[in-house]
Amino acid sequence: MTINQSDRDEVREIQAGTAPTRFARGWHCIGLTESFKDGEPHSIEAFGTKLVVFADSEGSVKILDAYCRHMGGDLSQGTIKGDAIACPFHDWRWGGNGKCQKIPYARRVPPLAKTRAWHTLDQDGMLFVWNDPEGNPPPADVTIPRIEGALSDEWSDWVWFTTTVDTNCREIVDNIVDMAHFFYVHYSFPTYFKNVFEGHTATQYMRGTARTDMRPHAAGTPQMLGSDSTATYFGPSFMVDDLIYQYEDHNIDSVLINCHYPVSADKFVLQYGIIVKKSDRFQGDAADSMAKNFGTFIAKGFEQDVEIWKNKTRIENPLLCEEDGPVYQLRRWYEQFYVDVADVAPEMTERFEFELDTARPVAAWKQEVEDNLAAKKAEADAAASVH
Ligand code: FES
Ligand SMILES: [Fe+2]
């Protein structure tokens, strides 16, 4: 057997690279605030360490390093006593500001008894923690925007989901430019797709419809015509998606949160939540159950991503075609969160806009859907003629 020289020259090799051991600078949502207010300390593995989250006597939620500076006990296994978290090992009491307040068996507290207290943000029912490997506090202009419907009676309550994914969190961020996977992995049909990156935000504008070959319309239910989505990452890990589902005679407005925090270089916790706007059609329980249904639907979408991530390799040099989104530019934007503030280069934060020309993908996908529907029909006809 001979190997063709040109074949050998032209093989593209994958550069897998290695996931960074540093964790992104930014606000990270760790869940609904309410879930931390049950009077118990909570353990959160994040940023390569363990944190303890607890509410003080006023209900204000505090976050400290979980490992006690005395002898290394795990504060998240301790007890809340007044405004402090008491270590299960020797009962040292740590206040929400990181200072040791009291050692019940000691004459005095050593003056240097201070542990790390993390900056928190309690907003719109969600709890955020600020991570900065350089140890600086959050700048005033690096914020998470308010979500209008979050605490409003005109919207449903949050329906919230949490799952752990065994891969580096860049995989989920890549999704923001990946139009084609929506068709193949999520069975949706994008017809318009645009990205804008600027400062610490990255946005995906997408309009589309469902794939009628994969998700046939169930008789008796209103037919979904399409969806309109504006999804923005504010910082490295918190995405707000204003998502409108269009039906024959009405729209459903929803806000989907897609956020994560890293546990280690190859593990992250993915969380997503949804609220739905109430309308004449959907009041009270109906809006809540609509949010639940959407949540379950979105959960399926993430499961489809996870299945891909479980089996794929990390890739530093994706081989792209013209109809792919701007993966390299997105990663340049994402890099700003992994370097010191002094090393954030203009090309990481400059405005960048890219609208995909969807003409060719839409034509190809239309054909594929039609072919699949025709094949299904032929199969059904054949089955009917046998009987
Ligand atoms: S290790 Fe925490 S009190 Fe001793
Ligand atoms: Fe996806």
Question: Is the CB of 78 inside a 6 Å radius of any atom of ligand 1?
Answer: no
Q: Which CATH number fits the domain that encloses residue 185? A: 3.90.380.10
Q: What is the pLDDT of residues 84-106, one digit of tens each?
A: 999 999 999 999 999 999 999 99
Give 228's strand partners.
207, 244
Two structure tokens written together for 97:
């500001």
Reported as a pLDDT band with limits 50, 70 and 90, residue 358 is very high
Give the pLDDT score at 284: 76
Same domain, 72 and 206: no
Span 16-59, pLDDT tens digits = 999 999 999 999 999 999 999 999 999 999 999 999 999 999 99
Note the ligand closest to the C-alpha atom of 181: 2
- Out of 131, 151, 169, a domain closes at 131
Quick check: 255 and 279 in contact, CB under 8 A? no
90 lines ligand 1 (CB under 6 A): yes
69 and 178: one domain?
A: no
pLDDT exceeds 70 at position 303:
yes
> β-strand 352-355 against 188-198: which pairing, if any?
antiparallel
Q: How confident is the model at residue 295 (pLDDT cuts 50, 70, 90)?
A: confident
pLDDT of residue 298: 82
Of 227, 232, 244, give the one whose Cα is nearest residue 202: 232
Average pLDDT over residues 74-91: 98
Give the residue among 132, 128, 163, 162 at the shortest CA–CA distance from 145: 128
Q: What is the pLDDT of residue 119?
A: 98
Judge if 188 and 49 occupy the same domain: no
Chain-centre distance for alpha carbon 302? 10
Same domain for 171 and 127?
Answer: no
Residue 52 lies in a domain: yes
Overall number of domains in the chain: 2
Residue 347 lies in a domain: yes
Angle at 164 between CA 145 and CA 49, to 5 degrees: 80
Residue 92, ligand 1, Cβ within 6 A: yes
Q: How far is the CA of 86 from the centre of ligand 1 (A)?
A: 9
What's this model's pTM, rounded to 2 decimal places?
0.93
Angle 351-352-353 from CA coordinates, rounded to 5°: 125
- Are 110 and 190 found together in one domain? no
Q: DSSP alpha helices (H): ranges in the chain?
A: 5-9, 170-174, 180-184, 284-311, 327-335, 346-349, 359-386
Residue 4 has pLDDT above 70, yes or no: no
For the chain, the average pLDDT equals 93
Residue 42 CA, ligand 1 centroid: distance in Å: 17
The CATH number that applies at residue 124 is 2.102.10.10
Indicate if 213 and 109 belong to the same structural domain.
Answer: no
**Together in a domain, 353 and 264:** yes
112, 175: one domain: no
**Residue entry with tokens 């500076």:** 69
Q: Is residue 278 part of a domain?
A: yes
Q: Which ligand is nearest to the CA of 52?
A: 1
Indicate if ligand 1 lies below 6 Å from the C-beta of 71: yes
In a domain, 125, yes or no: yes
Q: Kindly tell me the burial class for residue 143, based on how many C-beta atoms sit within 10 Å of its own C-beta (0-12, 13-18, 19 or more).
A: middle
pLDDT in tens, 135-192: 999 999 999 999 999 999 999 999 999 999 999 999 999 999 999 999 999 889 999 9
The residue ranges of DSSP E strands in 235-298, in sequence order, are: 238-247, 251-264, 267-276
Range of the domain at 103: 29-131
pLDDT at position 228: 96
Considering every ligand atom shown, identify the ligand nearest to the alpha carbon of residue 70 and give its number.
Answer: 1
Residue nearest to atom 3 of ligand 1 (CA): 90
Residue 123 shares a structural domain with residue 210: no
Q: Please report whether residue 39 resides in a domain.
A: yes
Domain final residue, candidates 83, 114, 131: 131
Domain presence at residue 20 = no
pLDDT at 216 over 90: no
Query: Residue 71 C-alpha to ligand 1 middle, in angstroms?
Result: 5
For range 304-310, the mean pLDDT: 92
Say what percent of the chain tops pLDDT 90: 82
Ligand nearest to the CA of 308: 2
Task: Provide the token pair at 345.
Answer: 């280069």
Question: Does 286 share its domain with 174?
Answer: yes
Best mutation site among 68, 85, 93, 114 for ligand 1, i.e. most ligand atoms within 8 A of its Cβ? Answer: 68
* Cβ-based neighbours of 96, under 8 Å, separated by 6 or more: 54, 56, 60, 62, 64, 83, 84, 117
d(CA 317, CA 12): 10
Best mutation site among 87, 100, 102, 105 for ligand 1, i.e. most ligand atoms within 8 A of its Cβ? 87
Residue 90 has a pLDDT of 98
- The answer to whether the CB of 73 is under 6 A from ligand 1 is yes
2 pLDDT tier (thresholds 50, 70, 90): low
Are residues 110 and 183 both part of a single domain? no
Mutate-to-test residue for ligand 1 from 90, 105, 109, highest number of ligand atoms within 8 A of CB: 90
Is 154 part of a structural domain of the chain? no
Q: What is the C-alpha separation between 207 and 94, in angstroms, rounded?
A: 50
Which pLDDT does position 386 carry in this prediction? Answer: 73
Q: Which helix (H) or strand (E) holds 323?
A: none
Are residues 294 and 205 part of one domain?
yes
Q: Is residue 136 part of a domain?
A: no
How many A from CA of 179 to the centre of ligand 2?
A: 9
Structure tokens at 371: 């072919």
Q: Which residue has the higher pLDDT, 292 or 119?
A: 119
Confidence of residue 316 (pLDDT cuts 50, 70, 90): very high
Closest CA to 40 of 52, 54, 26: 54
Per-residue pLDDT tens over the stretch 196-212: 999 999 999 999 998 88
